[in-house]
Structure 1
Amino acid sequence: MKTVVYMVRHCDSPKLEADERSRGLTDKGKADVNRITELLKGEEIEVFVSSPYKRAILTIEELAQQNGKEIIVFEDLKERIFSNENNRISDDELFPLLEKSFSVPNFSLDGAESNVVCQDRAITTLKQLLDTYRGQKIAVGTHGLVMTLMMGYYDNHYDLDFLLNTTKPDVYKMEFNDQTCVGVKRLWKS
């Protein structure tokens, strides 16, 4: 039985806000929410789930409302924890950390997660979603790295280069037969 998962990477978010959980969307991000809604409104999505981070929820909220659905929040779909605090790290710090994390998947800073730990928690949730909502269409409000790690679980060409070439927002349609990914298609056009 085919289950479809729409990985919806969040829209542009202000980088000046330090708290990762409460960062909202920029004006461009808010405009792109309308584009996401237009893009996916005909897909007949039945289930909406998200990371607990505000920017991910806001990205799919309008689409969920138009479909008369609530968004189910899963803590384990949050972005990878890069430091032992809930604060954003700068891009200057992030890019070397990403490079090392993809070359040494178990690498993490003290008190933070590795790519392996992040992937394990996110994939556990995704597998539960595939079981619970088997045969349905599921939108997942997500983040760039956790999305890449989930997709990379099924196909290792979803790697650092893939991540660095994604956009905010971005949308990938993944088709599954039971727990097996049988196809991925990018739907978002920048």
Structure 2
Amino acid sequence: MKTTIYMVRHAESPYDEGNERTRGLTAKGKADVEKVTKLLMGEGIDIIISSPYSRAVRSVEGLAQHLNLEIETFEDLRERHFSSDEIVDLMSNIRNNFYNPEYALPGGESNADCQNRSIAVLKTVLKEHKGKKIAIGTHGLVMTLMMNYFDSNYGLDFLDQLKKPDIYKMQFEDLELKEVIRMWNE
């Protein structure tokens, strides 16, 4: 029995609005959410879950409203916490973590920690909702780490080419990833 996961990377978000948890979407991001909704509304999605961060929730909110579904948020799908201090070169830190997944800055979380917590949620969802179609509002790095758990081809190069938003349809049989299709076209 196939279970389908739609990974929905959040739409464009302003870096200067609110904090990591509360920042919303730009005007372009809001327009793109309408496209996400139109693209996914005919897929027969049964369940919508999300990171608790506003930009991820807002990226699947239109779909939830159209399908008359609630969005269930999971704290362990949140974005990776990089450090308790301000990071001067975030992208350099992200790249380095792909070569050393256990490394974490002071007060921060490693790629391995982020992957472990997010995969625990995904495995539970796959077991509890076998045969269903589930949309997940997520973040680029978290999505990459979850996909990487099942297939090492989803690494730094994959992360670098992701768009905001982006959508990947993943077909599973039990906990085995069988197929991945990119659905988002700009």
Residue of 122, 144, 151 corresponding to 1:148: 144
CA distance in structure 1 between the aligned counterparts of 2:123 and 2:98, rounded to whole angstroms: 23
Say yes or no: does 1:124 pair with 2:120: yes
Q: Which secondary structure does the structure 2 equivalent of 1:21 belong to?
A: coil
AA aligned opposite 2:117: R
Once the 2 structures are TM-superposed, how far is the Cα of residue 93 of structure 1 from its aligned partner?
1.4
Once the 2 structures are TM-superposed, how far is the Cα of residue 99 of structure 1 from its aligned partner?
1.4
Query: 1:84 maps to what in 2?
Result: 84
Q: Which secondary structure does the structure 2 equivalent of 1:111 belong to?
A: coil
CA deviations on 1:60-100 (whole Å, 9 max, x unpaired) are: 00101111100000000001111126xxx66x511110111
Q: Which secondary structure does the structure 2 equivalent of 1:16 belong to?
A: coil
Residue of 96, 99, 116 corresponding to 2:92: 96
Query: 2:171 maps to what in 1?
Result: 175
Query: 1:36 maps to what in 2?
Result: 36
Once the 2 structures are TM-superposed, how far is the Cα of residue 153 of structure 1 from its aligned partner?
0.4
Query: 2:8 maps to what in 1?
Result: 8
CA distance in structure 2 between the aligned counterparts of 1:133 and 1:101, rounded to whole angstroms: 32
- When normalised by structure 2's length, the TM-score is 0.97
CA distance in structure 2 between the aligned counterparts of 1:83 and 1:67, rounded to whole angstroms: 38
CA distance in structure 2 between the aligned counterparts of 1:99 and 1:161, rounded to whole angstroms: 10
AA aligned opposite 1:48: I
Identity across matched positions, percent: 52
Once the 2 structures are TM-superposed, how far is the Cα of residue 25 of structure 1 from its aligned partner?
0.2
Residue of 152, 159, 165 corresponding to 2:161: 165
Task: Flag structure 1 segments of 5+ consecutive residues without an equivalent.
Answer: none
AA aligned opposite 1:26: T
CA deviations on 1:137-175 (whole Å, 9 max, x unpaired) are: 000000000000000001111111110100000000000
CA distance in structure 1 between the aligned counterparts of 2:53 and 2:171, rounded to whole angstroms: 25
CA distance in structure 1 between the aligned counterparts of 2:105 and 2:79, rounded to whole angstroms: 15
Residue of 93, 110, 113 corresponding to 2:109: 113
Q: Which secondary structure does the structure 2 equivalent of 1:121 belong to?
A: helix
Root mean square deviation of aligned Cα: 1.1
Number of aligned positions between the proteins: 186
CA distance in structure 2 between the aligned counterparts of 1:153 and 1:61, rounded to whole angstroms: 27
CA distance in structure 1 between the aligned counterparts of 2:111 and 2:18, rounded to whole angstroms: 22
CA distance in structure 2 between the aligned counterparts of 1:18 and 1:110, rounded to whole angstroms: 23
Task: Flag structure 2 segments of 5+ consecutive residues without an equivalent.
Answer: none
Moved over 2 A (4+): none
Query: 2:59 maps to what in 1?
Result: 59
CA distance in structure 1 between the aligned counterparts of 2:103 and 2:17, rounded to whole angstroms: 26
